[in-house]
Amino acid sequence: MMPYSPIRLFLAPGAILLVLGLLLHLAVLLGLVRFGGLPAAGVTAAFATIFSVVGFEILSLGLDAKTYSWSRRFDRDNRALAAFYRHFRLETGLLLKAELIACGGAILLANVLEWLRSDLLPLPRPEWVSFGATLVILGCSTLFSSLFISAMSMSRQGHEQGGSAP
């Protein structure tokens, strides 16, 4: 069933979790999440990371399944997916991966340096570590998803041009 309707199975839960996680990150980083007058940053940021990463993975799996169905010609006339692949190339995924890892890595490096300067005392804003880690994880996931999608779309393009699948 997954190759025939991955959008219905993956799109809504993945998008909801990803958006919820990113909004929760934003709320935590802006200091909007408070309990008893105190910032609830550390644990709340960990949940934001979980929601963001799981949501992204679900969306990625849905796109991978849709790409598989498209490359195997289960979904022959999918204009939306065809348009997506006209704009999405392996290089696009690699660039996005690099940006996510660079931003997340910079945030993590800044926090490690701050932590070392404070003689390993607890960080005043640990939610930034969670956000940086989220970006690095999403960047790594983007890399592998991009490689898979690129391989599957090459197979599809080979079919369209009369070639054979690798």
Q: How confident is the model over 41-62, as pLDDT tens digits?
A: 889 999 999 999 999 999 998 8
**Domain positions in the chain:** 6-160
pLDDT at position 17 over 80: yes
Q: How confident is the model over 79-91, as pLDDT tens digits?
A: 777 777 777 788 9
Q: How confident is the model over 93-134, as pLDDT tens digits?
A: 999 999 999 999 999 999 999 999 999 999 999 999 999 999
pLDDT at res. 9:
81
Residue, of 39 and 100, whose pLDDT is higher: 100
pLDDT at res. 88:
78
The whole-angstrom separation of Cα 103 and Cα 111 is: 13
% of the chain residues with pLDDT over 70: 86
Q: 13-17: long-range contacts (C-beta < 8 A, 24 or more apart)?
A: 13/55, 13/58, 14/55, 14/56, 14/57, 14/58, 14/59, 14/60, 14/61, 14/62, 15/55, 15/59, 16/55, 17/51, 17/52, 17/54, 17/55, 17/58
Please report the sign of the dihedral spanned by the C-alpha atoms of residue 67, residue 69, residue 75, residue 76.
positive
Name the pTM for this structure.
0.83
The whole-angstrom separation of Cα 144 and Cα 61 is: 11
pLDDT band for 163, please (50, 70, 90 cuts). very low
